[in-house]
Structure 1
Amino acid sequence: MSDALPEPLAEIRDEFLELPESDRLQLLLEFSYELPAVPAEYEGHPELAERVVECQSPVYIIVDVDATGTVTMHATAPAEAPTTRGFASILAQGITGLSSAEVLAIPGDFPQTLGLTKVVSPLRISGMTGMLLRAQRQVRAKSAA
């Protein structure tokens, strides 16, 4: 496993890999219930969020980078799409609090390292990859601004 993975995401990955494959979907479901709410200042402002077109469900992400370079990721995903919502939650929880450099160093194949490739469809994994790549692109754009 790559050491480039920031600690919060490495812990989440290890949490999945410690479980038998049959229990990993349940953990993903638990993450779906823990997706942090989007802050009030973004409510009703869809133009501030980016649609993740790789996801079949309507998933939107917003990434903030503060003056110190600390990243906060927000995401919305419908409750009726628990797998996608779970992935959004993993990223939002795992990326928030990291530095821009740490977020940009997350390997693009992180979603494949969770041990879920046999229990969720490749389309869902590519949706999570899309979320990660868009978050990284937003971090790059907002760090340069």
Structure 2
Amino acid sequence: MTALPPKLEAVVNMFQKSPKAFRLQALLDFSKRVPPLPERLQADHDQMEQVHECQSPFFLFSEVEDGKVHLYFDAPQEAPTVRGFAGILLEGLQGATPEEILNVPDDFYFNMGLSELITPMRLRGMGAILTRLKKQLSA
């Protein structure tokens, strides 16, 4: 299996070692870590790509500066599950290299025990976010 970037691996390990009730609270905590969009993306939201597979409106934008990836996500506050996954990706992948992100297994989040907490449809949305991110970085 491909190694996860160290920060993402730490998040995955924390979820793996936690009881089910804590995992749900942790997911909600990660949802609160998604910062507002920078003004330039708020002013021109068309720069962002919508992930249609998500049940809630979800948009992402990535850019590479000095070899490091910067991630920006936009999802409604009323969508804590998808915002939580965005927070996990921010925590684990912000500042990683494009190669590190491209090597993240598409289903890494299955090892976090999230399937006990959220529906398969929401899990597919999570996978779609990572897939779109990888496509942006491959372009």
1:63 maps onto 2:62 in alignment: yes
State how far apart, in whole Å, the 2-side matches of 1:101 and 1:72 are. Answer: 13
Quote how far apart the aligned CAs of 1:39 are: 1.5
Paired AA for residue 28 in structure 1: L
Q: Secondary structure at the match of 2:126?
A: helix
Q: Match for residue 111 of structure 1? A: 109
Q: Match for residue 26 of structure 1? A: 25
Give the ranges of 4+ consecutive aligned residues of structure 1 lying more than 4 Å apart after TM superposition: none
Aligned positions of 1:115-134 closer than 5 A: 115-134=113-132
Q: Match for residue 39 of structure 2? A: 40
State how far apart, in whole Å, the 2-side matches of 1:38 and 1:95 are. Answer: 17
State how far apart, in whole Å, the 2-side matches of 1:28 and 1:14 are. Answer: 14
Paired AA for residue 137 in structure 2: V
Moved more, 109-118 or 52-61: 109-118
Give the superposed CA RMSD: 1.1
Quote how far apart the aligned CAs of 1:92 are: 2.1
Mapped contact 1:36–1:92 kept (Cα < 8 A): no
Quote how far apart the aligned CAs of 1:84 are: 0.8
Moved more, 50-59 or 38-47: 38-47
With normalisation by structure 2, the TM-score equals 0.95
Show structure 2 runs of 5+ residues with no match: none
Paired AA for residue 62 in structure 1: F
Q: How many residues align?
A: 139
State the percentage of identical aligned residues: 39
Q: Secondary structure at the match of 1:65?
A: strand
State how far apart, in whole Å, the 1-side matches of 2:6 and 2:39 are. Answer: 28
State how far apart, in whole Å, the 1-side matches of 2:71 and 2:93 are. Answer: 6
Paired AA for residue 101 in structure 1: E
